[in-house]
Amino acid sequence: MFMGKDYFKYYGIDLRSENAKEKIEKALEIALDTRKFEIEMYWKRANYFWLFVAAIFVAWYKTLESPEYNFVVMGLGLIVSFAWFCVNRGSKFWQENWECHVSELTKELGYPVYSIIKQYNTKRYHLRGNYPYSVSKVNQCVSLFAVIAWICLIFIRINTSIESSDICSTYAYVLFNLLAIIGIAILLVVMHNFSKSFAAKDSKYRGVEWVES
């Protein structure tokens, strides 16, 4: 969406009309409620995935002595962690989407509280001071780390299994690791494309870039 006067054209609001303020206030109410809902759902989803991934890590530890079950658990952990990463990205998008709506609407009403940010003088390395980290992006990094951790555990398990078998050789190492790389890559691509099918498609303004006027 475009900011400024072009933004309100999408609402069909004539800023010179008598009821323009009433319409803007109604739109702001909707945007605030939806933003609040998105934030609540973000942390509910985060807690859900945190518990699920933690339970899978426990199951992974419990099945270390059973290679076949251990592989199944690691595969499940990889899938759930990648889903967690995608959900975090999606939640972040919708949260920022509604924050942009709120920012533009409050500016038009004359109280741009969402467009003004507190100035900070603390440095990132001052551990006792505050710093404007993005909490949601930190959580997104953790979910990405979980994906990488499962991939590493899978490769460690593959190489450990090869070493303890009768087919221990350089060719076996290369073959099984190559197959694992291809398999994981295919799995992640399929999951990514599948998740894209749930992207919003019902808005005629979908894909319009939000830019400063």
pLDDT one-digit tens code per residue, 9-27: 776 777 777 778 888 888 8
pLDDT band at 213 (very low <50, low <70, confident <90, very high): very low
DSSP H/E element including 137: helix 135-163
pLDDT band at 4 (very low <50, low <70, confident <90, very high): low
Average pLDDT, the chain: 77
pLDDT one-digit tens code per residue, 109-128: 887 777 777 666 777 677 66
pLDDT band at 94 (very low <50, low <70, confident <90, very high): confident
Look at the block and give the residue holding tokens 């990205």: 89
DSSP SS3 for 126: coil
Residue 84, judged by CB atoms within 10 A of its CB (0-12, 13-18, 19+), counts as: buried
Q: Quick one: pLDDT at residue 56? A: 94
DSSP SS3 for 211: strand
The residue ranges of every structural domain in the chain are 5-116+133-196
Q: Quick one: pLDDT at residue 197? A: 54
Q: Quick one: pLDDT at residue 140? A: 86
Distance CA 170, CA 83 (A): 34
Residue 24, both tokens: 């803007």
- Structure letter (DSSP) for residue 184: H
Query: What global pTM score does this model have?
Result: 0.74
Q: Quick one: pLDDT at residue 189? A: 73
Residue 194 has, within 13 A of its CA and on its CB side, a CA count of 10
Distance CA 80, CA 151 (A): 12
Phi, psi of 100 (to 5 degrees): -65, -40
Q: Quick one: pLDDT at residue 165? A: 62
